[in-house]
A and B are shown apart, each in its own frame.
Chain A
Amino acid sequence: MQKNRKQQLGFFLLFLCILTTIFFLGLILYFIIVRGFGVLSFEFFTQVPKRSMTAGGIAPAIVGTFYLTLGAMIFAIPLGVACAIYLSEYSPKSIIINIIRISINNLAGVPSVVFGLFGLAVFVKYFGFGVSILSGSLTLGIMVLPGIISATQEALLAVPQSYREASLALGATLWETIRKVVLPSALPGILTGIILSIGRVAGETAPIMFTAATFYTRRYPNSIFSEVMALPYHIYALMTEGVHPEAQTKIAYGCALILLILVLSMSTLAIILRQRQRSYTYYGT
């Protein structure tokens, strides 16, 4: 009797935990969608900011985030995927490879602001790229590199060894095996990792604060050496600079909503991709 009471109480507490977690998610989504939706209009997407950021749109920030994300991915995808292929397909299992794997894991946990410091010291100052799309993209790219490497490695690891053996036994070379057998079966997993990285890159603020982002510009970037506005940094700027907090907060809600839609559609895509992959592929035991 008492045993069952305890159980009921315990289960109720667990239910309360998950309910609270979902409640917070709902709260954030609710306020940002409801208050941000009123700001959205055609002009909001296509105009530059006007009257010291109290009116007009945020087109340069959207464009800037697009370029930064694109640049980071152009840099990080080939490098990260190649690194993972080398580590799990070409390199022999050894202590050195193990150490490399552990350090990649650890670097995935380094705070994003530290990557920002690195980008500032190396790309902005040492290489002299200045505060620019190039510096920001490279910084963001390096930030997601560990994530892409480990996602790709995991996807490669999930491909059964027998696939490789069958291909090699048929006389295919190692590269042919990787290109025609291993990569196609690992592709959904790799794509999931890449899509999650896109979402992360688009939403990050700290790494681009000192390497790419500018508070306010009326111009669109014309080369990879221009500084840009970016959606996440623009939210921060609207909340901390300027003299019209009320009007700026309104616009910030709009920015937050657009950013949220952008990032959440990426993670939703990744979730769907992963679930489809789970139900379609059966690797056996």
Chain B
Amino acid sequence: MFTRREKIIKGIFSILAFSSLFFLVGITITLFTSGLPVFREVGLLEFIFGREWYPTYSPPSFGIFPLIVASFLVTIGAVMICVPLGVGSALFINELATPQQKSILKPVIEILASIPSIVYGFFGMVLVAPYLQKILHLPVGQTAFTGSLILGVMATPTVCSISEDALNFVPQSYREASLALGGNRWQTLTKVIIPAAGSGISTGIILGMSRAIGETMTVLMVTGGAAIIPTSFFQPVRPMTATIAAEMGEAAVGSIHYHALFAIGLILFIITLLFNIIAEVISRRYRLKLGLGR
């Protein structure tokens, strides 16, 4: 009686567990089945390296190279902002802040992380873009640069909190050893602590990049949306995520355009998956190195 009830409960849990896994696997299958037809129509290489994205012209042209370039351009720009800000903030919180400052700064970073992307996008669109247009004398304010700036601020909390975790893992004895050898705090920081936490910090940077490249509403609202290969940072661009969001509403179900947008989703999925796997591998090796892997 007792054991039968236990078995039923275990059964229910396993069904619920596997049904949620089923959904997660379903995403991968859906992306492949809905995205792959476009490779048959257009060809994989032409799709990825084609330089023209005119999905609604006749004849249409499905080359997503400008979109890929745009995504990476905006992401690289964001990295240049979120890495110094995020890692610098993490170092300050971990090494310099008093416990009292720490208890204020950490929640502040968390709050920055929880602001919805639409709010960042809105802020960028109504305030940052017009301001940049004015001070930089640009024809339009919505450019790759504006996108990078906002995305960089958005990704800062991700980089910061993961770097902060990594710094927390550095054993106190490392600091003490360095200080005992006569190094000052700055030398200890740059020559002992940062190298020791290095792979944890790079995990944070990669996850920050992953967040930036997958961000949708912000880039949709602030990067301008021109599907051309940019020649400078101050041109409107159209990253992959923004293309999906902007065009899915008008693409007829089952058309090549529809499948092409799914294929972009698939490529995005693979890119972020790669980022996450790299981050996972680095952080695992790092835990082993510091003797934390059990």
A residues sitting closer than 8 Å to B (CB atoms) are 3-4, 6-7, 10-11, 13-18, 20-22, 24-25, 28, 31-32, 78-80, 82-83, 85-87, 90-91, 100, 102-107, 109-118, 120-122, 125, 142, 145-146, 149, 173-175, 196, 199-200, 202-206, 209-210, 232-233, 235-236, 239-240, 249, 252-253, 256, 259-260, 263-264, 266-268, 271
User: How many angstroms between the C-alpha atoms of A266 and B221 in the bound complex?
Assistant: 25
In the complex, whether B261 has a CB less than 8 A from a CB of chain A is yes
Query: Judging by beta carbons under 8 Å apart, are B275 and A267 in contact?
Result: no
Given the contacts A10-B189, A121-B262, A264-B111, A80 and B20 also touching, CB distance less than 8 Å: yes
Rounded to whole Å, the gap between the CB of A33 and the closest CB of chain B is 12
Residues of B close to A83: CB separation below 8 A: 16-17, 20-21
In the complex, whether B179 has a CB less than 8 A from a CB of chain A is no
Query: Judging by beta carbons under 8 Å apart, are A122 and B118 in contact?
Result: no
Residues of A close to B207: CB separation below 8 A: 109
User: Could you write out 29 A-B pairs with CB less than 8 Å apart?
Assistant: A3-B184, A3-B187, A6-B186, A14-B89, A15-B92, A17-B85, A21-B112, A79-B16, A86-B13, A87-B17, A90-B10, A109-B275, A109-B276, A113-B244, A113-B268, A114-B31, A116-B244, A116-B245, A173-B3, A203-B117, A206-B216, A209-B249, A233-B118, A239-B126, A259-B119, A260-B116, A260-B119, A267-B110, A268-B107
Rounded to whole Å, the gap between the CB of A217 and the closest CB of chain B is 16
In the complex, whether B151 has a CB less than 8 A from a CB of chain A is no
Which of B24, B110, B123, B261 is close to A28, meaning CB atoms less than 8 Å apart? Answer: B123
Determine which residue in A107, A233, A263 has the highest number of CB atoms from chain B within 10 A of its CB, and name it.
A107
Determine which residue in A13, A24, A116 has the highest number of CB atoms from chain B within 10 A of its CB, and name it.
A24
Which residue of A has the minimal Cβ distance to B261? Answer: A117
Query: Judging by beta carbons under 8 Å apart, are B265 and A113 in contact?
Result: yes
Chain B, residues 109-130, CB within 8 Å of chain A (1/0): the string is 1111111111111110111000
Which of B31, B214, B249, B277 is close to A118, meaning CB atoms less than 8 Å apart? Answer: B31
In the complex, whether B174 has a CB less than 8 A from a CB of chain A is no
- Counting residue pairs across A and B whose Cβ atoms lie within 8 Å, the total is 252
Query: Judging by beta carbons under 8 Å apart, are A31 and B88 in contact?
Result: no
Rounded to whole Å, the gap between the CB of A238 and the closest CB of chain B is 9
Residues of A close to B105: CB separation below 8 A: 18, 22
Query: Judging by beta carbons under 8 Å apart, are A82 and B214 in contact?
Result: no
Chain B, residues 84-96, CB within 8 Å of chain A (1/0): the string is 1111110111011
Query: Judging by beta carbons under 8 Å apart, are A7 and B186 in contact?
Result: yes
Given the contacts A203-B116, A236-B118, A118 and B248 also touching, CB distance less than 8 Å: no
Given the contacts A113-B244, A145-B23, A271-B110, A21 and B214 also touching, CB distance less than 8 Å: no
Given the contacts A121-B34, A206-B217, A259-B116, A79 and B84 also touching, CB distance less than 8 Å: no
B60-93 residues with Cβ-Cβ distance < 8 A to A are 84-89, 91-93
Query: Judging by beta carbons under 8 Å apart, are A111 and B272 in contact?
Result: yes
User: How many angstroms between the C-alpha atoms of A145 and B112 in the bound complex?
Assistant: 22
In the complex, whether B237 has a CB less than 8 A from a CB of chain A is no
Chain B, residues 225-262, CB within 8 Å of chain A (1/0): the string is 00000000000000001001100110001000000011
Which of B21, B31, B107, B272 is close to A271, meaning CB atoms less than 8 Å apart? Answer: B107
In the complex, whether B56 has a CB less than 8 A from a CB of chain A is no
Rounded to whole Å, the gap between the CB of A128 and the closest CB of chain B is 12
Which residue of B has the minimal Cβ distance to A78? Answer: B16
Query: Judging by beta carbons under 8 Å apart, are A260 and B115 in contact?
Result: yes
Rounded to whole Å, the gap between the CB of A190 and the closest CB of chain B is 15
User: How many angstroms between the C-alpha atoms of A210 and B113 in the bound complex?
Assistant: 25
Query: Judging by beta carbons under 8 Å apart, are B122 and A252 in contact?
Result: yes
In the complex, whether B19 has a CB less than 8 A from a CB of chain A is yes
